[in-house]
Amino acid sequence: MDKEKALSQLKKYRLPILIVVILAFMLTPFNRQAPAVMGPELIKDLGLNAVDFGLMGLSFMWAYALMNAPLGNLLDQFGVRRGLSVLLIMIGLGSFIFCAAQTFLVAVIGRIIVAIAVAGCFIAGVKVISNWYSAKEFPSIYGLYLGLAMLGGVGATGPLQFMMTNYGWRYSFAVIGVISIILAVIAYFVVKDRPADVALPSPDEITGEAVPVKNKEEAKASGWEVFKEVCRMPKLWLANFFILGVNSSGQAIVALWGGVFLANVYGFSKPVVAEILMVSATGLIIGSFAAGWLVKKLGSVNVMLSGTVLFLIGWLYMTLNIRTLSTMELKILFAAFGFLQQYSVVGYFSLMRELVQPSQMGTATGLNNGFVWVVGAGAFQQIWGLVINHISKGVTPYPVEAFEAALWLQVFVVAISICCGLYLVKMMRKPTQVISANR
């Protein structure tokens, strides 16, 4: 088959597959960010305090993070088609348990099941893009993948608030459960793991960027060796600590504490809180698209560095002026945090794609993304709860001093991450280490 015909056939198959994994991944930001809008209702309905609410966020983020590595490896071994279908069914099951919960424990169990499943949905999408798009196409397609999927985060703001106001938070999550089951059926019939499954060469082979892998068994033979080699890659570990500052800060305030922060410190009503959080979710989308284009111009590491520095500047401004910020200033800041967080994340995964082969992208994504979420988002959401509860003595509404202390903590974390980024820039001048799928 000539290259033009092969590329035409490739495009025919990969577009519907991309659409399915985007729809599946939309459930991830929705479920991550929903507590920020539901926070006041959950605290009231289930009788939670700050530590309980933080623990609910912690259980979700840790389950999400800890399952990244094993799920990534399983998706490498068993394929996206079967794996994604099972994961979507799990999201449906977890959503039904969560919406029926009458106690804190049952609610946490439901959230943990959802967290495990949405972690795999993200990795499945990254693996599909790695298999069906070339290394040169990866940044822009990955940015598109993240940007469109972040519409799920937008759904967790104003639209979710509308459903909660009219039908309650329990009914809202029952709807998510039904949607997940329907998507599972679609994924099983539409998704193909790799071009070889339909007798096509890989996109890198078509563009001349890779040596063809002789057979499927050979590609899988070195799985354990690749896992160990990924663990020994200093550039990836530096990138992990680099992205930690932006990711932990953004997830702490946008995905969990944002609604409580805005309601307690500024006394905003639910619609105003949802509006500000929706602006942030919109920033996530725009940041994904912008980074997908700019990675080609600036390079993955430079995108990460510029995004993190600008994030720190905005975070410092909010921290120093926390008592006097206007509604418009908060909208601008939250939009910037969403934009810069996702802008930096696209650079992070584009760097990962440069350092590992597509056949190992599931394992690499799971391992490194898991680390970032365990140490970053999962831990710091609970740390915020401990700090806020300690300073407030458990009295609500939580005082501005409690949130001010949490914000200063993140200033320190982001500053350290920038130091890691500067060292990574120096290391990237050395020859790039690439994992061979055939060694």
DSSP 62-130: HHHHHTHHHHHHHHHHH-HHHHHHHHHHHHHHHHHHHHH--SHHHHHHHHHHHHHHHHHHHHHHHHHHH
pLDDT at 221: 42
Answer with the residue of higher pLDDT: 280 or 62: 280
pLDDT at 268: 92
Find tokens 């507590």 and name the residue. 35
Which pLDDT band holds residue 252 (cuts at 50, 70, 90)?
confident
**Tens-place pLDDT, residues 365-391:** 888 888 877 777 668 878 998 999 999
Q: What is the mean pLDDT of residues 204-231?
A: 61
Closest by CA position to 341, among listed 68, 111, 29, 39? 29
Domain 3-193+230-427 in CATH 1.20.1250.20? The answer is: yes
Answer with the residue of higher pLDDT: 181 or 142: 181
Answer with the residue of higher pLDDT: 137 or 189: 189
CA distances from 210 to 27, 354, 434 (A): 33, 12, 12
Which pLDDT band holds residue 215 (cuts at 50, 70, 90)?
very low
pLDDT at 223: 61
Which pLDDT band holds residue 209 (cuts at 50, 70, 90)?
low
Residue 263 scores a pLDDT above 50: yes
**Tens-place pLDDT, residues 113-137:** 999 999 899 899 999 998 898 878 8
pLDDT at 222: 52
Q: What is the mean pLDDT of residues 60-81?
A: 85
Q: Tell me, what DSSP letter sits at residue 396?
A: S
Q: What is the mean pLDDT of residues 399-415?
A: 96
Residue spans per domain, the chain: 3-193+230-427
**Tens-place pLDDT, residues 85-108:** 999 999 999 999 998 988 889 999
**Tens-place pLDDT, residues 26-41:** 998 888 778 878 878 8
Q: Tell me, what DSSP letter sits at residue 201?
A: -
Asked whether the beta carbons of 279 and 334 are under 8 A apart, the reply is: yes
pLDDT at 1: 57
CA distances from 230 to 104, 351, 436 (A): 38, 13, 11
The contacts of residue 217 (CB under 8 Å, 6+ apart) are: none
The percentage of the chain sitting over the pLDDT mark of 90, rounded to a whole number, equals: 39
